Amino acid sequence: MAKRKLFKNIANGVLSSFVSRNNDVNGYWGIGKLYSLMVYKNTYEVEIDLIKQTISPNKIEFNSMIQYFSNQLFNQILRKNLRKSYLKEAKITLNGYPNNTSLSLGQTAPNKIKCSFRIVDDLKNQYTIEKETWCRKHNSKQEIKRGNYNKEMIDNG
């Protein structure tokens, strides 16, 4: 019997990595960049299909990030000895809640984003994980680009 229930563990690992500070787009935090996409497109929902490697609304800037998490998903499937054919759907959905400020975060991160990752297997079982995080719209003048941080530390060190 197949261990399709392992999809829940895989979804948790991939989504945890997705909302972490290690998710970056061109050196900036991926969640902040995605929130900026929501603001720019005036829609507070983004859907990422990790099988088809697409994002809606579409923006080419996110292609590398999508490919990274798609690869992470399929690597975990292989590690857990699951067949790729068991996987029928794998979508991350982000819903933004602007100006839903947490008092402790103030203006540092005034917007909440709910991220859910839903996997559907070949038997139509659904495995869904949800996580929430706080963010602000991306602003390159207020943020340190990931690749530049270490160089600046060495140069000034």
Domain parsing of the chain, residue ranges: 6-156
The pLDDT of residue 153: 34
How do residues 71-117 score in pLDDT, each as one tens digit?
A: 999 999 999 999 999 999 999 999 987 665 555 544 555 678 899 99
Q: What end-to-end distance do the CA atoms of the chain give, in Å? A: 57
- Range 8-22 average pLDDT: 93
How do residues 36-45 score in pLDDT, each as one tens digit?
A: 899 899 999 9
pTM of the model: 0.81
- Name which of 72, 71, 69, 40 is nearest 57 in CA terms: 40
